[in-house]
């Protein structure tokens, strides 16, 4: 498997514009996570899905952020409108639960470095 694939790798946009980040999880994985990394807050979980259903979005900072998972092989994180403080590296990760309390390790994509000017 090619691992978790994110696109684009880099995105530079102007304040107020809509930004869409994309993620393809590892085939067969049933959990998908979106994390954000900033200097101030480190790595923090934004939202996660199980079998394409959003389970916990309490980490999403504002209503400007939204995430979808229309099928098992694709997820998007959208910011509309974007602001300079959204500048960060956004990571997508996936993992598989093999049984009750039995999770396999999580794998991360290469991240999308977002700069909002």
Partner 1 sequence: GIQVEQSPPDLILQEGANSTLRCNFSDSVNNLQWFHQNPWGQLINLFYIPSGTKQNGRLSATTVATERYSLLYISSSQTTDSGVYFCAVDPHANTGNQFYFGTGTSLTVIP
Q: How many CB atoms lie within 10 A of CB 71?
A: 8
Q: Is 110 in the site for partner 1 (CB under 8 A)?
A: yes
Q: Is 42 in the site for partner 1 (CB under 8 A)?
A: yes
d(CA 59, CA 30): 20
- In contact, 116 and 51? CB cutoff 8 Å: no
> Residue 18 burial by CB count (10 A; 0-12/13-18/19+): exposed, middle or buried?
exposed
Q: Which of 1, 14, 18, 44 binds partner 1 (CB under 8 A)?
A: 44
Site string for partner 1, 57-96 (x = CB under 8 A): --------------------------------x-x-x-x-
What are the residues binding partner 1 (CB under 8 A)? Answer: 30-31, 33, 35, 42-45, 48, 50, 55-56, 89, 91, 93, 95, 97, 100-101, 103-108, 110-111, 113
């Amino acid at each position: 498997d090619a691992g978790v694939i994110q696109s684009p790798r880099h995105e530079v946009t102007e304040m107020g514009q809509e930004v869409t980040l994309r993620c393809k999880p590892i085939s067969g994985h049933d959990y998908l996570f979106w994390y954000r990394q900033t200097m101030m807050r480190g790595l923090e979980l934004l939202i996660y899905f199980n079998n394409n259903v959003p389970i916990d979005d309490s980490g999403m900072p504002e209503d400007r952020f939204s995430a979808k998972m229309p099928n098992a092989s694709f997820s998007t994180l959208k910011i509309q409108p974007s602001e300079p403080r959204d500048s960060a590296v956004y990571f997508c990760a996936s993992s598989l639960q093999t049984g009750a309390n039995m999770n396999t390790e999580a794998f991360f994509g290469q991240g999308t470095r977002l700069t909002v000017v």
